[in-house]
Amino acid sequence: MSNSKIYLDHNATSPLLPEVSAAMAEVEHLAFANPSSPHWAGRDARILLEDSREKLAQALGTKPQEIFFTSGGSESNNTVLRQLLMTSGEKHIISSSVEHPSVLETCRILAEQQNIQFTELAVDSSGTLAPDDLSAAIRPETELISLISANNETGKLQSIEELTKITQQQQIPFHTDLVQAFGKIECDLSTSGIDYATATAHKLGGPRGIGLLYVREGTPFQSLISGGKQERARRAGTENVILAVGFAKAVEWYLKNQSKLNEQFFKYRQSVLEEIAKLEKIFINTDLENSLPNTLNFGCHGISAESLLISLDMDGVAVSTGSACSSGAMEASHVLLAMGISRAEAKSSLRISWGWSTSSEDIDYFCARLTHHILRLQAKNKTGNP
């Protein structure tokens, strides 16, 4: 095994930024109290919490009172979707076949167990959702539309602005999962047709265990977790002030460095593309014209992703086969299958994703080891020898 340690799985989680770690350590002695307490210690914690909320609201172009802290993206997504259980009558929800499992599986559970009608929109071979398909799926009883902004497996960016024009005309609440997009691309909700948005800190160098939920002022909302009156009675439970400070700092850092980072990320992706173009039987799953610059999903015909992942791991290179939330079993990606990619190709596909800690040397090392292992495995397939 190599002594090199190269981490190319930032879409699963990103290492903690040093600036974030320092910011959290700096306030640790100030943020120990319950921010709901009326005494001086509680007030100190409350000031830090609200300052963090305001910074996140500014980053999204929203009002602070529209931002609520949660434990992460999955809780935020479930909170939006499970509101449908709080009201009576016939209900219909629209989502897509390429959503994160916290949206797609929740929609399916609501349909199977709660008799809520669910339409799962298809995508084309690039992973694109057609606005006409959304228009055709809307019914009088449609109560919510939930569509992802940036796909966690392929990096595909959807035309959310175009899609929300349809929902605004129909006056149907629109939710988008911003978990992969927030901080990496512009996410200004001030003039958007988005009513609910979800994000999390750990995808961009912030701490795990904290996310946010944006609810546009005046939009219907029912809390998922009841109890205390924290977060304006919208999410019970004592807030973790230190994590909130870390979240705000991570977003602040990423937005400050966004242009420089994305320029680097495009170069990294081009370097990988140029390297794998030299190899035989390579296929690309990412829509290179319309995707996050930090993500590339690709494969090699005849070579399993599991074999490559293990080989690279032995060399100290961490990559992924898709969503980390379902990576315990090496199954074909539901996102790739939805794009019309064969099961064999899907099981041959790797996702690499880089972030703030990635260097050009990391990419060079990855390319060298990837090429070595693909050539080795191709030769093995031809001869049948190890």
* Predicted confidence (pLDDT) per residue in 192-220, tens digit: 999 999 999 999 999 999 999 999 999 98
Please determine, for residue 325, whether its predicted confidence score (pLDDT) is greater than 60: no
Residue 202 shares a structural domain with residue 108: yes
- C-alpha 16/C-alpha 12 separation (Å) is 13
Question: Could you give the percent of the chain with pLDDT greater than 70?
Answer: 96
Q: Is residue 1 part of a domain?
A: no
- CA distances for 10 relative to 50, 124, 345, angstroms: 28, 26, 23
Domain CATH number, residue 300: 3.90.1150.10
User: Which residue segment(s) compose the domain that 93 sits in?
Assistant: 18-252
User: What would the pLDDT profile of 267-321 be if each residue is shown by its tens digit?
Assistant: 999 999 999 999 999 999 999 999 999 999 999 999 999 999 999 999 999 999 8
Asked whether the CA dihedral 228, 230, 232, 235 is positive or negative, the reply is negative
List all residues 6 or more positions away from 112 whose beta carbon is below 8 Å from its beta carbon.
none
- Going by the DSSP 8-state scheme, the letter that residue 321 receives in this structure is S
Residue 156 shares a structural domain with residue 243: yes
79: its two tokens:
């909170």
C-alpha 85 chain-centroid distance: 25
Residue 246 shares a structural domain with residue 369: no
Residue 270 shares a structural domain with residue 230: no
Residue 187 shares a structural domain with residue 77: yes
Quote the number of domains for the chain: 2
Q: Is residue 292 part of a domain?
A: yes
Mean of pLDDT values over 248-266: 97
pLDDT at residue 84, rounded to an integer: 84
- C-alpha 203/C-alpha 13 separation (Å) is 5
Q: Is residue 324 part of a domain?
A: yes
User: What would the pLDDT profile of 155-203 be if each residue is shown by its tens digit?
Assistant: 999 999 999 999 999 999 999 999 999 999 999 999 899 999 999 999 9
Query: In DSSP terms, which residues pair with 317 in a beta bridge?
Result: 6
Please determine, for residue 88, whether its predicted confidence score (pLDDT) is greater than 90: no
Residue 76 shares a structural domain with residue 10: no
Nearest alpha carbon to residue 84 among 133, 168, 136, 145 = 145
**Residue at which a domain ends, from 252, 272, 287:** 252
- Model-level pTM? 0.93
pLDDT at residue 48, rounded to an integer: 96
**Residue at which a domain ends, from 218, 252, 286:** 252
- C-alpha 318/C-alpha 305 separation (Å) is 13
- For the chain, what is the mean pLDDT? 93
Per the listing, tokens 């004592």 go with 238
Burial class (CB in 10 A: 0-12, 13-18, 19+), 254: buried
pLDDT at residue 1, rounded to an integer: 46
Q: Is 325 a catalytic residue?
A: yes
Mean of pLDDT values over 132-150: 97
Q: 187, 300, 325, 367: which is the annotated catalytic residue?
A: 325
Residue 132 shares a structural domain with residue 42: yes
The 3-state secondary structure of 206-268, one letter per residue:
CCCCCEEEEECCCCCCCCCCCCCCHHHHCCCCCCCHHHHHHHHHHHHHHHHHHHHHHHHHHHH
Burial class (CB in 10 A: 0-12, 13-18, 19+), 201: buried
